[in-house]
Structure 1
Amino acid sequence: MNALTYSCLLSIVAVLLHFSCGTTQAKNPPLGTKAAKYAKSHPTKPWHTLGKAPKKLSQEQLDEQCKLLISRLDLTLPGMSKVKDTAQNKNWQAAASAYIELLKREATKYHNGQPSQIKLRSIGNPDKYDMDMAAAALENKFISQRSYGPLEVPADLPWTYNPTNDMEWVWQLNRMYFWLHMAKAYQKTNDQRLVKKWVETMRDWVSEADTNRRELWRTIECGERGRRWPFSYYSFIHSPNIKLEDHVVFLNAYYEHIPFLMPWDRSIHGLRVLNWGLILNDGVMTALEAFPYFKDAQMWTDVAAEVFEQRMKKEVSPDGSHCELTYGYHFGVTNEFTFAKQRLEKLGYTMFPGYWKTAEHMHDYVLFATMPDGQRPMIGHTTFAHVNSLMNNGANLFNRQDMRYIGTRGEKGEKPDYLDAAMPDGGFYIMRSKWIDDQDKDGMYMLMDLTHFWGGGHSNYDAQNIILYGNGRTLLDDTGIHTYVPPDSNIGKSTRQHSTVVVDGKNQNKKGSVLDFFARKKNVSFIDGYQDGYKDVRHRRQVLFVRPDQHSDGYFIVVDRLTGKGTHTLEQYWHLFPIKETLLLDGHQATTQEKDGLGNLMIRALETKNVEMDQVKSFLTYEYVKLIDRPAIRFSSKTKLPATFVTLLKPFKGEAAPKIETSCVIDDKDMVLVEVKVGSVVDTVLVGKEPTKIEGKQLWYAGLMRKVDGKSEEVCVFQDRSEHRMGVKAHGWD
């Protein structure tokens, strides 16, 4: 099997894994009313340009391409009289030239900020990265998947060439990201070499773009070309180095993309829903914004609006969670839905009532989970990024001063009047001590992953995983995007790569988790949820958060209860941050000792019977494929069920770990009692399997009793599940 065949095989496997969602959201949806209507009158036709137009046209071929282009235009529109008159005389080249001159006039108005038939957004000014990528393209070094940087492609431009072992590079090469960098650089430099390279690569690609070639024609690549190509064309349109045949071949090739973008098309590989489907639909809108003189352009508006409304209703829950359940992709689809409304309204279309409120909730979904340092949590396939831009945009769109507060890092706006938050449809639950921790570096934050359904190929086997922030650092983090390519991609998605419990060395199944309880009272938050992630085994995780105050620097007690049948090997993992200094292991305790003045973490097993601790290798990726080593702590036990892990997570600032005395007892009713003593402050934490009467009197489910200098200072008790949702912000819980 040669390398290309093997890569193609991997590509098929990767796409199948990507869409193995197990949910109705991942199926191609039925056509909407408007799409079904238009589908009947627009059968698929053979293409005459894609994969057929050679890199150099004869006069006869040029005449045919010009005639083809004119046949695709609406000659009745204002401004098209010269094109129509010339076409009636069958002077196809002259008619095509007249149309291109019309586009040039509209492009001049568009670039000058004057009213124009071209409704594209501005591509903005070039930055250093744009200039660098444009310069690399002149040397046949093209940017594809960004993490690999620009890589050299042979002079004959084989569009399936793969200098990596990752088919993602081939696919993204065929999105032509480098064209946009070249276009932005050209607007600054007027360097005609950029135009010539654009013509060279465009004509070569079109000549090879047989729609049966899967490497070139996944749905997402088609959508990316649909929404990107016009920006480069209109940047270069006035250059004398674009000949008539180049204009005509490009415009015909672009037009032939449009049917593939329509929801009724099934002729190219890949689904038409989720983030892929929104990218396709973005291409439909861009086609109308860029080339309103094509026939059926108004139909494109109707179909695009219908699809966005359909996908909003189907894929976004009332709490704002998108069904793929990953913050990286949530950013993308939030922008797609938001900008779609604005763009469609400029084209005269009004979205359904409730669309804008759902878009606002999609921004809340980010707000609620924002970490104290402004990061988004790296849940599922998510890379490192800050939320500032999305929050500032949400503040402007929805007049939300709490979003402005987060987006400006507290310089403007109003601080949210709550701390804990929930996404009850998606299944992410957040406890925090403060919203912004840029100065004092004393904040704490925990996200618990109790997603209630499988989110698809961008999700991980990570039920009840924890992301923990403390004192200026993410202490326990998710994996990020390792790679999309199996088998390596399976490692990053595995249960053992997350801070949760693994049973018998296997991955969890795809069953959703269940939330039993989440509430905040006084200075304490408590969450309780479970997943039936293994045959005959239930993993229940309970976390009690004692917030920092005048008596305590704050900590978390984690209780993992494993119930079911038989004897099993249980492994509780805690995946730390990349450590530069020492990780101190002592009995059943692990302590990081970084010397940079930011947060460290003490992890202590409090129930140690038949439990062993060791350090294992782990990794994370802040950028695609760029692995960073990190350690993980594993507590393991081979035991007959039921079994319980009880763990203290103690973030602290500076390298000197606090002196903490602890003890743990599990009584005959499975009530976990933990004593935490720091100096003269003694906390007693109780976490029950069920609400239980203590000493036959008061009902306790979970809570905290505190003594300072021997005197009782605080009692915070969650008595039963009737207090569920107390003190937590969530859409649908009001």
Structure 2
Amino acid sequence: MGIRYVSYRVVLLITKKLGLLKNKFPTKPKQSTFITLADWKDTKAKFLIESREKLNFPKTPNKKLKEETLRILNGEICFFSYDWKNIGLDYNWITNPDTNYEYDIHLHWTDIPDFKKENGDIKYVWEKSRFAFLLKIIRFDYHFEQDNSEFVFTQIESWIDKNPINQGPNWVCSQEISLRTFNWLYALYFYQNSNALTEERFQKIMYVIYWSLQHVYNHINFSRIAVRNNHAITETLFLAISQNLFPFFNESRKWSEIGTKYFEQEIDYQIYKDGTFLQFSMNYHRVVVQLLTFGIALKEIHNQKFSKVVYDKAYKSVQFLFECMQDENGFLPNYGANDGALFFPLNEYDFRNYKPQLNTLHKLLTNENLIVNDDVYDDENWFLSNIKFENNYVPLKRTYGIFSFDFGGYYLARKQNSFTFIRCGKHKDRPSHADNLHLDVWVKGENVLLDSGSYKYNTSEKNSNYFTGTSGHNTVSLNHASQMLKGSRFIWFYWSQAQKAMWQETENEYVFEGIISAFQYLNPKTIHKRKVTVSKNEELWNVVDEVSFANTDSMQQNWHYNSDKIQFHTIELQNDIESYNSSYYGLKEKGEGISFSFNKNITTQIKYVEE
């Protein structure tokens, strides 16, 4: 992880032990009035949307939006974009509904353990406190001409009353603090003329937003150095827009200047030259796509721009994700860490459908829609309704053939009816899963050879080793071990590294060849070579694996599949294996898996056969 990371971690641990970190985050700061509600209404800065009375995009009520909103109004919350739980209207905001563990709200946030077995996954506590559910209610009120502003502000006020500044689990994560404010802003602007937005409530909200910005600013180096992923992008963006939206906070100019500088640095560093993303995760890359849309649109409303690299990397991101997307359903490979995050849920599509988010950023950058489908445009309405389009990037179009994203390590082959995805990466940043040379295959929008997913971050060692390890992916294991040595939480040691990766095209085939160094903790010389031949004329894949310098003869070629139309042919010994799929965070389902034992090399033919 480097000297910078280690040095910061050591200093952070010392300051935490000595109580110096806690001193930067007061728990009972002095009450202040920054601006009155009346003055804010008169002088408020422009946001992504106007008040509900001024919005004029088409109203398109749909049945699913109504059904899901009514569930929220009756005390249910959708966890991780798929799992509805009835936690009641009197929820205390600090109880994990998965384990019923209740956090101590009196503890300073620095004393809250976020990963502890008896607590369960803290993400279950954070989910409602993210307030993404407000967007569902706001959209329902607009499209169905209803008014649930009292419910919305009652929920916000309840959170404020039950989560004192810098106390309890909901002040642990600066990203969660930032997202909460983003979603509160939608409510403030949409319902600004509602009687439910009283002076008292407005003052409470502004007070918490001010101390939220203070918190994020005072802890920004944690995300920039110790974490450095989408957390850093979210938090630096929060600081970057502070002067645009909160000029009445004395420190907003300072916060904004440093936030803008850091945001531009993080985008430049985290999104590689080919548009791939340092977290090696499709869903976290989509998180960044939405943050880029939010940030670029807001700045442009204020006649400001980030540096050009932000726009270039945003465009490249859309390009890469679009190349990985299935036209039939908008799905991408369930590749890399996936915690169910969708910061701004502005449609009723399946969580794994990326069309609305990619279309919105594409429209912002090119002034043209990427997707020709009216159903995806509600995202666009809630991000871009105030935009005058001035960017002129070339609109993207679907093409076929082979694609190489060498910086990120992704190799794709797209035919009319099938899509092949191969991972072969050289890691300069922390890897997510031990999955080098994983092969994902889609036929007519169906994921027939698939990645097992992520399941949960705080789970049993067995589950963690499976879902993040090599055995949960379509690649080779040695004696059932992973390519890298698992450390604690999100850490891997002995990172696997690509030594060669390339496509070649012949008259009838696309041929990929990749070589990685892996299993270095077992033998530093171990090499895994994989050759994948994709037929142009039929749905047929030929996979040759060769392992050199291994300290074992026990080698396994693992496959996880999702269709009875898939046929495997090899001369090697076949074993049925335990296979589990996690299509959504927190969901674990029995899947279909097969493994072939071999010594040194193996050739396997995989065929998709129509009934």
* TM-score for both structures, normalised by structure 2: 0.75
Deviations 1:509-568 (A, max 9, x none): 1222232432213222211112222122221111122211xxxx3522111001104433
Unmatched segments (≥5 aa) in structure 2? 10-21, 100-120, 341-350, 376-394, 485-494
Alpha carbons of structure 1 residues 151 and 271: separation in structure 2 relative to 1, 3 Å: farther
Deviation at 1:358, TM superposition (A): 2.5
Question: What letter matches 1:450 in structure 2?
Answer: C
Distance 2:296 2:57 in 1: 17
Question: What letter matches 1:388 in structure 2?
Answer: K
Alpha carbons of structure 1 residues 620 and 123: separation in structure 2 relative to 1, 3 Å: farther
Q: Which of 83, 87, 111 is the matching residue for 1:152?
A: 87
Deviations 1:450-501 (A, max 9, x none): 12217647x2111111001235532101112312222234321121111111
Question: What letter matches 1:490 in structure 2?
Answer: N
Distance 1:223 1:477 in 2: 34
Alpha carbons of structure 1 residues 490 and 192: separation in structure 2 relative to 1, 3 Å: same
Deviations 1:615-657 (A, max 9, x none): 22312222222333221111114x5xxx111111112222xxx
Contact residue 568 and residue 606 of structure 2 kept, 8 A: yes
Q: Does 2:566 correspond to 1:601?
A: yes
Contact residue 474 and residue 559 of structure 2 kept, 8 A: yes
Corresponding residue number in structure 2 for 1:645: 602
Deviations 1:641-696 (A, max 9, x none): xx111111112222xxxxxxxxxxxxxxxxxxxxxxxxxxxxxxxxxxxxxxxxxx
Indicate the RMSD between aligned Cα atoms, in angstroms. Answer: 3.9
Corresponding residue number in structure 1 for 2:325: 370
Deviation at 1:187, TM superposition (A): 5.0
Alpha carbons of structure 1 residues 267 and 470: separation in structure 2 relative to 1, 3 Å: closer
Alpha carbons of structure 1 residues 131 and 318: separation in structure 2 relative to 1, 3 Å: same
Alignment of 1:478-557 (within 5 A): 478-487=451-460, 488-509=463-484, 510-534=495-519, 535-536=522-523, 537-548=526-537, 553-557=538-542
Distance 2:458 2:160 in 1: 25
Alpha carbons of structure 1 residues 390 and 619: separation in structure 2 relative to 1, 3 Å: same
Q: Which of 97, 105, 111 is the matching residue for 1:163?
A: 97
Contact residue 52 and residue 207 of structure 1 kept, 8 A: no
Distance 2:56 2:244 in 1: 9
Question: What letter matches 2:500 in structure 1?
Answer: L
Corresponding residue number in structure 1 for 2:436: 463
Question: What letter matches 1:499 in structure 2?
Answer: N
Corresponding residue number in structure 2 for 1:451: 425
Deviation at 1:240, TM superposition (A): 3.3
Distance 2:361 2:187 in 1: 29
Deviation at 1:319, TM superposition (A): 0.6
* TM-score for both structures, normalised by structure 1: 0.64
Alpha carbons of structure 1 residues 349 and 124: separation in structure 2 relative to 1, 3 Å: farther
Distance 2:364 2:189 in 1: 29
Q: Which of 259, 265, 269 is the matching residue for 1:310?
A: 265
Distance 1:152 1:277 in 2: 31
Alpha carbons of structure 1 residues 336 and 25: separation in structure 2 relative to 1, 3 Å: farther
Contact residue 478 and residue 552 of structure 2 kept, 8 A: no
Distance 1:354 1:106 in 2: 25
Deviation at 1:193, TM superposition (A): 6.6
Contact residue 217 and residue 269 of structure 1 kept, 8 A: no
Alignment of 1:52-451 (within 5 A): 52=28, 65=31, 68-70=32-34, 96=36, 98-99=38-39, 102=42, 110-111=50-51, 128=63, 131-153=66-88, 155=90, 157-165=91-99, 166-187=121-142, 194-195=149-150, 198-199=153-154, 201-262=156-217, 265=220, 273-285=228-240, 287-371=242-326, 373=328, 374-382=330-338, 385-393=352-360, 395-399=362-366, 404=370, 416=398, 418-434=400-416, 443-451=417-425
Contact residue 566 and residue 608 of structure 2 kept, 8 A: yes
Question: What letter matches 1:560 in structure 2?
Answer: D
Q: Does 2:545 correspond to 1:560?
A: yes
Corresponding residue number in structure 2 for 1:34: none
Corresponding residue number in structure 2 for 1:612: 573
Deviation at 1:332, TM superposition (A): 1.8
Question: What letter matches 1:376 in structure 2?
Answer: L
Fraction of identical pairs, as percent: 16
Alpha carbons of structure 1 residues 271 and 227: separation in structure 2 relative to 1, 3 Å: farther
Question: What letter matches 2:502 in structure 1?
Answer: F
Corresponding residue number in structure 2 for 1:623: 584
Distance 1:432 1:295 in 2: 53
Contact residue 242 and residue 253 of structure 2 kept, 8 A: no
Alpha carbons of structure 1 residues 629 and 131: separation in structure 2 relative to 1, 3 Å: same
Deviations 1:85-132 (A, max 9, x none): xxxxxxxxxxx465356469999x932787xxxxx9999977555544
Alpha carbons of structure 1 residues 602 and 347: separation in structure 2 relative to 1, 3 Å: same
Deviation at 1:133, TM superposition (A): 4.9
Contact residue 236 and residue 259 of structure 2 kept, 8 A: yes
Partner of 1:69, secondary structure, is coil
Deviation at 1:224, TM superposition (A): 0.9
Alpha carbons of structure 1 residues 313 and 261: separation in structure 2 relative to 1, 3 Å: same
Which one has the bigger strand percentage? 1
Contact residue 449 and residue 466 of structure 1 kept, 8 A: yes
Distance 1:121 1:326 in 2: 36
Alpha carbons of structure 1 residues 375 and 201: separation in structure 2 relative to 1, 3 Å: closer
Question: What letter matches 2:83 in structure 1?
Answer: Y
Contact residue 503 and residue 570 of structure 1 kept, 8 A: yes
Question: What letter matches 1:570 in structure 2?
Answer: M
Question: What letter matches 1:446 in structure 2?
Answer: T
Deviation at 1:302, TM superposition (A): 2.6
Distance 1:390 1:216 in 2: 28
